[in-house]
Amino acid sequence: MTSQEIQVLFKACREAGIDASKITPSNPFEKSGSTASLLQAAVAMVDPAQAARWRVAAGGGLSVATLAELEMNQQLSPRAQQDLWEHDPKFVDQFIKEREQSEAAMIKEMEDGAAATRLRNQMRQTGGNEEIARRQLAEQDAADQARMLKKQEAAKHAQEFEQRMAKKRQESIRLAGVMNNG
């Protein structure tokens, strides 16, 4: 079992609330019982592609119906898609990749839309002058970034101060114990 597989198994144990010290490093889809079922479901949540690999390694595979649908080169039924999800790690990886790309595109589109709306609103305030509006927005963005950096710096200094104070308190407690104990 690879270290990546062990990590998946460990995360699945945590997810399912199973004591990982009682689980052997082996394919959970080769086992049966309530603990194995919980672990299999957790593996499917943590790493669906690994779950598919382990299902296939345990003797599972695509059904004849799914294979027939694949041969017809038509839109796959929900049952065939589920079968692919459960038994084809390449399908799982491709699906996840496409979903992530779609989400990234959606986020980009929303950010672009928000920026365009912000520019339009600023242009209204400047009497329709796009150049002035863009300059003002750039100035606002720079000021916002400077404020954010100052906040981060202040938080860092506060954390360092708290650490120094905690260290001094510990040192004081240690010294007080030495004085009392002689």
Query: Would 109 be classed as within a structural domain?
Result: no
Query: Would 144 be classed as within a structural domain?
Result: yes
d(CA 158, CA 34) in angstroms, rounded, equals 50
**Which residue among 65, 87, 109 closes a domain?**
87
Domain that holds residue 46: 3-87
Query: Would 133 be classed as within a structural domain?
Result: no
Query: Would 101 be classed as within a structural domain?
Result: no
Same domain? For 13 and 78 the reply is yes
Would you say 43 and 51 are in contact if contact means Cβ atoms under 8 Å apart? Answer: yes
Name the nearest CA neighbour of 92 among 81, 103, 101, 102. Answer: 81
Helix, strand, coil abundance in the chain, percent, nearest 5:
85, 0, 15
The pLDDT tens digits of the residues spanning 74-99 come to 899 999 999 999 999 999 999 999 99
Largest CA distance in the chain: 88
d(CA 57, CA 31) in angstroms, rounded, equals 12
d(CA 83, CA 77) in angstroms, rounded, equals 10
Would you say 85 and 95 are in contact if contact means Cβ atoms under 8 Å apart? Answer: yes
- What is the count of structural domains for the chain? 2
Query: Would 97 be classed as within a structural domain?
Result: no
d(CA 23, CA 129) in angstroms, rounded, equals 67
Predicted structure pTM score: 0.62
Average pLDDT over every residue of 7-20: 96
The pLDDT tens digits of the residues spanning 113-172 come to 999 999 999 999 999 999 999 999 999 999 999 999 999 999 999 999 999 999 999 988
Query: Would 99 be classed as within a structural domain?
Result: no
